[in-house]
Structure 1
Amino acid sequence: MRVPIIAAMLALAGCAASSEMQASQRAEARNDLATALGDRVPGAPRDCISISDSDGPQIIDDRTILYKPVGRTLWRNDLGSSCPGLRPYTTLIVEVHGSQLCRNDRFRVLDPGSSIPGAYCMFGRFTPYEKAK
């Protein structure tokens, strides 16, 4: 009788540790987003951005990607749904058609040290954030 109870207690402890880790990751993502956006103010979302206007992506969490500005505008992309494996320090393999990156363009995630990309994910709308004048 004691073995099943101990096993159940260990399983619950693992769930608690996992939920604490997820809460910590969410808090870190919120902090990273707040730091990156700073005092910038959002504008009207757009369907496409020019690839040349960005210095590459910063992955915040499994639903949020920032494209750092070359100029004044930082672009925030909120995916329509979470993207499995998308987290900071992963690489995006983006299918680009032309000189713009657009809503519903597909990308895949590549984990560090891996050579097999994950499932396809799609970009959402791009919201510009500019420094207040």
Structure 2
Amino acid sequence: MTRTKLIRAAALTLLAAPMIASCAPGGTAQAGAAALSPKQAEQLDKQLAGKVPGEPIQCLPNYRSAETIRISDDILLYRSGSKLVYRNDLKGSCPGLARDSDIMVVRQFGSSTCEGDFFHLVDRSSGIRGPTCVFGPFVPYRKPAGDAD
């Protein structure tokens, strides 16, 4: 390579590095944890305290979830009583989900919400449709047998 081509290649590499780095996942072992604010991390810890994760399931029957908790733009929790919470790490971010002011409109086929199903957000005041988002697997977090509430 000539000197000019080497300089151009180096310049392009320097310009592209920030864009490439922004696509890389966070360096933490806990899924979605890198993007959490301290308040969100505290809420997640509070909801999952004393519970242990189980094997992910593909679909969550509607009767199993009494409450939806928006942790961040990447994480939803579905509470099923005091001893069981399902965590869903979305397949990609869902901008605006954490604001908890938009309405979640879930595209559901049957009586369960499944991994890969879509939902979108709708602004409460204007009715303008927001981003389309995709559910990931549902991970049950249960209190171990014998633990008191």
Q: Do they fold alike, i.e. is TM over 0.5?
A: yes
What TM-score comes out, normalization by structure 1 length?
Answer: 0.75
Question: In the alignment, residue 121 of structure 1 is paired with which amino acid?
Answer: C
What TM-score comes out, normalization by structure 2 length?
Answer: 0.68
Unaligned runs of 5+ residues in structure 2 are 1-35
Q: Confirm or deny that 1:110 pairs with 2:110.
A: no
Counting aligned pairs with the same residue, the percent is 35
Question: 1 CA distance for matches of 2:98 and 2:123?
Answer: 9
Larger relative contact order, structure 1 or 2 (CA cutoff 8 Å, min sep 6): 1
SS in 2 for 1:30: helix
Question: In the alignment, residue 91 of structure 2 is paired with which amino acid?
Answer: G
**2:14 alignment counterpart:** none
- Write 1 or 2 for the structure with the bigger share of strand: 1
Q: How many residues align?
A: 110
Judging changes above 3 Å, is the alpha-carbon distance between structure 1 residues 88 and 131 closer, same or farther for their aligned structure 2 residues? farther
Unaligned runs of 5+ residues in structure 1 are 1-24
**After TM superposition, where is structure 1 displaced by more than 3 Å over at least 4 residues in a row?**
none
Question: 1 CA distance for matches of 2:126 and 2:49?
Answer: 33
1:58-97 superposed matches below 5 A: 58-70=69-81, 72-90=83-101, 91-97=103-109
**1:122 alignment counterpart:** 134
**CA displacement 1:11-38 (0-9 Å, x = unmatched):** xxxxxxxxxxxxxx71111001001111
**1:100 alignment counterpart:** 112
**1:131 alignment counterpart:** 143
Deviation at 1:88, TM superposition (A): 4.0
